[in-house]
């Protein structure tokens, strides 16, 4: 049997990590894990349980309380918190605004990194794991490490495109929010958003999603062939 392939995909917000990772995993028959969804799930639980997310000590004490379970099928990824489907609630603005503070707390990271490593170890054919510190901290021995980037303008336009005219989104405000979250994620002490030294950087600004997927599938296949 072939050795499972472990793919780490990191990068700032809105660079295409989720869309790309799901498609690459589906194409190659691998599992898929969205670690951002786990930090969001932890944040949602904190907000729902009256924890002051700006009080790191309070967050640290509560970090081992919620039971967070991620389903790793790339065609139907799931996330539950204490048995409740959290896929919708973790995408609210309230959670997005609070998640960087919660994810900066070392006790939160320790708890979730353990879950992430267990998911990778349990994936029968291998896994694509996306986040901010997968290549640097969670899976430093990953077979392939990718660091996705894109200009802040392109990322904001992509995010606004998701709204399909449902809301009159202000492009400048979207961009400012993305840049603010990236700064918080890059500036924290524990496992900041960073490119691993051995990661391949792919600038997606002028690439279509299909081109990015193809590029990463090719990189993985080349690595596999060379093993």
Ligand X SMILES: Nc1ncnc2c1ncn2[C@@H]1O[C@H](COP(=O)(O)OP(=O)(O)OP(=O)(O)O)[C@@H](O)[C@H]1O
Q: What does the binding site for ligand L45E5XJ5 look like in residue numbers (CB under 6 A)?
A: 13, 35-37, 39-40, 99-100, 103, 131-134, 181, 185
**Closest approach of ligand L45E5XJ5 to the CB of residue 48, in Å:** 17
Partner from ligand L45E5XJ5, ligand X, none binding residue 174, C-beta < 5-8 Å depending on class:
none
Partner from ligand X, ligand L45E5XJ5, none binding residue 103, C-beta < 5-8 Å depending on class:
ligand L45E5XJ5
Residues making up the chain, counted from first to last: 227
CA distance 17 to 12: 9
Q: Quick one: 1 or 42, whose CB is closer to ligand L45E5XJ5?
A: 42
Residue stretches of the annotated binding site for ATP: 11-19
Partner from ligand L45E5XJ5, ligand X, none binding residue 139, C-beta < 5-8 Å depending on class:
none
Among 4, 18, 60, 179, binds ligand X (CB under 6 A): 18
Q: Quick one: 35 or 174, whose CB is closer to ligand L45E5XJ5?
A: 35
Partner from ligand L45E5XJ5, ligand X, none binding residue 204, C-beta < 5-8 Å depending on class:
ligand X
Partner from ligand X, ligand L45E5XJ5, none binding residue 19, C-beta < 5-8 Å depending on class:
ligand X
Q: Quick one: 133 or 145, whose CB is closer to ligand L45E5XJ5?
A: 133
The region of 65-73, 157-165, 169-177, 194-202 touching ligand X under the rule CB under 6 A is: 157-165
Residue 213: partners with Cβ closer than 8 Å, 6 or more residues away: 20, 23, 24, 27
3-class SS string, the chain: CCCCEEEEEECCCCCCHHHHHHHHHHHHCCEEEEHHHHHHHHHHHHHHCCCCCCCHHHHHHHCCCCCEEEECCCCCCEEEECCEECCCHHHCHHHHHHHHHHHCCHHHHHHHHHHHHHHHHHCCCEEEEEECCHHHHHCCCCCEEEEEECCHHHHHHHHHHCCCCCCCCCHHHHHHHHHHHHHHHHHCCCCCCCCCCCCEEEECCCCCHHHHHHHHHHHHHHHHHHC
Give the binding site for ligand X (CB under 6 A).
11, 13-19, 36, 158-159, 161-162, 204, 207-209, 212
């Amino acid at each position: 049997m072939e050795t499972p392939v472990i793919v780490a995909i990191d990068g700032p917000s809105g660079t295409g990590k989720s869309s790309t990772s799901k498609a690459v995993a589906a194409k190659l028959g691998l599992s898929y894990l969205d670690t951002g969804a786990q930090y969001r799930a932890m944040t949602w639980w904190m907000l729902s349980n009256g924890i002051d997310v700006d009080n790191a000590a309070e967050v640290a004490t509560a970090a081992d309380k919620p039971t967070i379970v991620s389903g790793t099928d790339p065609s139907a990824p799931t996330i539950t918190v204490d048995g409740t489907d959290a896929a919708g609630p973790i995408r609210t603005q309230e959670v997005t605004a609070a998640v960087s503070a919660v994810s900066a707390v070392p006790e939160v990271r320790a708890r979730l990194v353990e879950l992430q490593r267990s998911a990778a170890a349990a994936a029968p054919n291998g896994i694509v794991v996306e986040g901010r510190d997968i290549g640097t901290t969670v899976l430093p021995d990953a077979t392939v490490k990718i660091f996705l980037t894109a200009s802040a303008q392109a990322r904001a336009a992509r995010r606004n495109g998701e709204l399909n005219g449902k809301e009159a989104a202000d492009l400048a405000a979207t961009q400012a929010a993305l840049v603010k979250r990236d700064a918080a994620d890059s500036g924290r002490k524990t496992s900041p958003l960073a490119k691993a030294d051995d990661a391949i950087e792919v600038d997606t600004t002028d690439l279509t999603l299909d081109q990015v997927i193809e590029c990463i599938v090719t990189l993985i296949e080349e690595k596999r062939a060379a093993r």
